[in-house]
């Protein structure tokens, strides 16, 4: 029985997932072409408006990677950056989401806080570095603070946006089913805003990484951003590219983590 079923099943699986397979295949080809271009540009030290003379080749970066894999210091840099992201981002989510929900629900809170957040919002997190150093007793705390600021505003703005889009008919429906203020908040406003909250968390995670790396480059002693900058100072060009790729992969991974969490929390949301 099973042997009869396998082939038709595989065929059906192929038909259903054709689009996804195609994307994976083209994506893989694209990555290989990118590596190839990089390889050729650096091997032949191309100078054409931009200069690839000192840019490390993929092979040099790979060599640097194998060395880093046996180096506990490299892992310490990575782990430290991850910890800063975790603290800064978690703090931002824990404060910005409830704040956005409350601001979206109560007009007075919105009217009081919105002008302040609108003025602070356009200031890049990195512009806070001097103030952060003054505010916080340790370097570590100020870096976490910068990361927190980077994530905070995207999460707040998207939560507010989600709250403003809650369908009033759903609120009315819940009231006619006997829901009171607390239940309406928990059962209607919060789940209705969740898709936007998760958009905010994804964007916030991206900005958190941007802010963290910049902060580490300026005032850090550890962290992957510091590692990258230090490599430049020490003329270890291959390590620069290694740090960059590492940052890229960490950013990608953390965004994927948020998206996965979103799918887990919102099984109804298939977009």
Partner 1 sequence: MSETIASQPTKGFVDVRNFGLSYPTLEGPVEAVCNASIHVNPGEFVSIVGPSGCGKSTLLNAVAGFLKPSEGDVTLDGEAIDGPSADRGIVFQQYSLFPWKTVKGNVEFGLKMKHLDKSSRDRAARTLLGLAGLTAFENKYPDSLSGGMKQRVGIVRALATGPKVLLLDEPFGALDAQTRVIMQQILTNMWQRLKISVLFVTHDIDEAIFLSDRVYCMTARPGTIKAEIKIPLERPRQQSMMMSSEFLGLRRGLMSLIREESIKAMGGELNDLALDGLSIDLNGQSLADVV
**Residues engaged in binding partner 1 (CB under 8 A):** 167, 169-170, 172-180, 183, 187-188, 191-192, 194, 266-270
CB burial string 231-265: b at 16+ within 10 A, e below: beeeeebbbbbbbeebbeebbeebbeebeeebeee
Return left, alpha or beta for 178; rule: phi > 0 is left, psi -120 to 50 is alpha, else beta: left
Q: Do the beta carbons of residue 228 and residue 240 sit within 8 Å?
A: yes
- Closest to 81 in 3D by CA, of 241, 191, 228, 203: 228
Residue 192 or 218: which CB sits closer to partner 1? 192
Residue 107 or 270: which CB sits closer to partner 1? 270
Shortest Å, Cβ 111 to partner 1:
22
* β-strand partners of 48: 50
Residue 194 or 250: which CB sits closer to partner 1? 194
Residue 87 or 259: which CB sits closer to partner 1? 259
Shortest Å, Cβ 158 to partner 1:
17
Return left, alpha or beta for 235; rule: phi > 0 is left, psi -120 to 50 is alpha, else beta: left
Shortest Å, Cβ 202 to partner 1:
19
- The gap from C-alpha 146 to its chain's centroid, in whole angstroms, comes to 15
Residue 175 or 219: which CB sits closer to partner 1? 175
Shortest Å, Cβ 270 to partner 1:
7
Shortest Å, Cβ 19 to partner 1:
20
Q: What is the DSSP letter of 124?
A: -
């Amino acid at each position: 029985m099973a042997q009869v079923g396998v082939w038709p099943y595989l065929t059906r699986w192929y038909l259903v997932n054709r689009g996804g397979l195609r994307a994976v295949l083209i994506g893989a080809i694209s990555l290989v072409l990118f590596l190839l271009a990089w390889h050729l540009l650096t091997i032949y030290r191309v100078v054409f408006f931009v200069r690839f003379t000192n840019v490390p080749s993929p092979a040099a970066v790979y060599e640097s990677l194998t060395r880093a894999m046996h180096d506990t210091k490299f892992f310490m840099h990575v782990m430290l950056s991850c910890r800063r992201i975790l603290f800064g981002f978690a703090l931002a989510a824990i404060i910005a989401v409830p704040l956005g929900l409350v601001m979206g629900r109560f007009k007075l809170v919105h009217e009081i806080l919105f002008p302040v957040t609108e003025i602070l919002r356009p200031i890049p997190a990195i512009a806070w570095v001097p103030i952060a150093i003054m505010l916080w007793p340790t370097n570590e705390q100020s870096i976490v603070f910068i990361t927190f600021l980077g994530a905070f505003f995207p999460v707040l703005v998207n939560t507010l946006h989600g709250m403003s889009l809650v369908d009033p008919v759903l609120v009315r429906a819940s009231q006619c089913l006997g829901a009171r203020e607390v239940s309406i908040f928990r059962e209607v406003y919060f789940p209705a805003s969740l898709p936007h909250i998760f958009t905010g968390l994804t964007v916030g995670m991206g900005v958190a990484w941007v802010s963290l790396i910049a902060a580490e480059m300026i005032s850090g002693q550890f962290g992957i951003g510091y590692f990258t900058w230090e490599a430049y100072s020490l003329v270890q060009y291959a390590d620069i590219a290694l740090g960059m790729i590492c940052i890229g992969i960490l950013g990608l991974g953390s965004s994927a983590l948020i998206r996965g969490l979103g799918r887990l929390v919102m099984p109804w949301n298939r977009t």
